[in-house]
Amino acid sequence: MSSFFVLFRIIIIFFIVIFIFFSYMLRTFSPTSTIRFALNSRGGAIISSTITKRIENPLIFISPRFNSDTSSDVNERLASGKKKASEQQQDWSGVRTTGQKLRRVYKNVGVRKQENGDLYEITLDGKAVVTPTKKKLLVPTEDIAKLIALEWAMQGHEIRHSSMLMTTLAATAIDDVEPNHVKYCREVLKFLETDSVCVREGRHEKLEKSQSKYWDPLVDFVEKRFGLRPHVTKELVKVEQNHDLMNLFEDYLNETDIFTLAAVHSIASTAKSLIIPMALVEGKMNAREATEAALVEELYQIEENGLVEGYHDLFLAKTRAKIAGASLFLHYLRVAKIKNTNPK
């Protein structure tokens, strides 16, 4: 009888161990964690869990050529973008923290101009949106304010910051760039020393032709705009740029406003190029052209070796969304400057 109980205990322990093992395996190799593992194992790319599930940003569906109907389209989408809010009691910020999530507790999103100023603010049920450091989220143009309001209006029951690129750019400009303008200028300027536009491929003829197609016009733009031609190399080393050209770029960046500098920094860090966002600031290319220029080498690799599902598709989507959002931001800043320079 005692041997029977010993055998029975052994069987029970065995099944418990099996159950724990399979529970651990299912949790460790879930679809999301598998994608995250694949991303980390290929080039060390790290994308948030929100991005690994799906990328949600209405800006990637807005025409990158910024036609004249964009503003009216935003008005229509903003008017129809109101969703049912949760029935929780509303707090001052329009969102409520529950654990690690931000819950939407506002119903209406609006835009209003400051009474004593030229800046615009975004409101949630009449209360102004603030930045992470509790400063008012004030932007210089009504069009940008409408796009930020659209991002807030399109949120569901949970606030998904990954889908709010315009809000992020504006908050970064106010919280980070404004008190550290010189530091940001120096960080952005470093991209010119390793600018992807100036580092070419010397071994693969097809890639070299593609680089010349998209990047030579950008080199020509810099020469025409600043009077000096950037150095281009086929060696994978730091580019020794002309010191006079570096000084011209530094002076240019020092004179930019905080919102433009925030957008330039975002695109430069994504495209690994300072020349690409500078061409956008000057209106010499649009978002689609900027994205194509930034992804020349990645698209060549995909064409030659095939697309790695779960890595390339997410990388391309994230890159296109970030560049499109920042390009749209720069476009409306540029339009506002033109209007102020040439008032009717």
Q: Which residues pair with 98 in a beta bridge?
A: 101
pLDDT at 35: 29
**Per-residue b or e along 78-116, where b marks 16 or more CB atoms closer than 10 Å to that residue's CB:** beebeeebbeeebeebbbbeeeeebebbbeebbbeeeee
How far apart (Å, rounded) are the C-alpha atoms in residues 114 and 47?
Answer: 37
Q: Please give the radius of gyration of the chain, using alpha carbons only, rounded to the nearest integer.
A: 25
Sequence-separated (6 or more) residues with CB below 8 Å from residue 305:
none
Task: Give backbone dihedrals phi and psi of 336, rounded to 5 degrees, phi first.
Answer: -65, -40
Under 8 Å between Cβ of 123 and 111: yes
Least Cα distance to 226 among 244, 240, 199, 253 occurs for 244
Give the pair of three-digit tokens for residue 76. Answer: 């229509």
Put residue 156 in one of left, alpha, beta given phi > 0 → left and psi -120 to 50 → alpha.
beta
* Residue pLDDT tens, the chain, 344 long: 566 666 777 777 777 777 676 665 544 443 333 323 333 333 333 223 333 333 334 333 333 333 334 445 555 555 554 443 333 333 334 555 445 578 899 999 999 998 888 899 999 999 999 999 999 999 999 999 999 999 999 999 998 888 899 999 999 999 999 999 999 999 999 999 889 999 887 778 889 899 999 999 999 999 999 999 999 988 766 678 889 999 999 999 999 999 999 999 999 999 999 999 999 999 999 999 999 999 999 999 999 889 888 888 899 999 999 999 999 999 999 988 887 766 55
State the DSSP string of 268-332: HHHHT-SHHHHHHHTTSS-HHHHHHHHTHHHHHHHHHH---TTTHHHHHHHHHHHHHHHHHHHHH
Is the pTM higher than 0.75? The answer reads no
Sequence-separated (6 or more) residues with CB below 8 Å from residue 125:
90, 94, 106, 107, 108
pLDDT at 2: 62
Under 8 Å between Cβ of 62 and 70: yes
Q: Which letter does DSSP use for residue 64 in this model?
A: T
pLDDT at 175: 96
How far apart (Å, rounded) are the C-alpha atoms in residues 83 and 104?
Answer: 10
Terminal alpha carbon distance of the chain:
102
Tell me the helix, strand and coil percentages in the chain, rounded to 5: 60, 10, 30
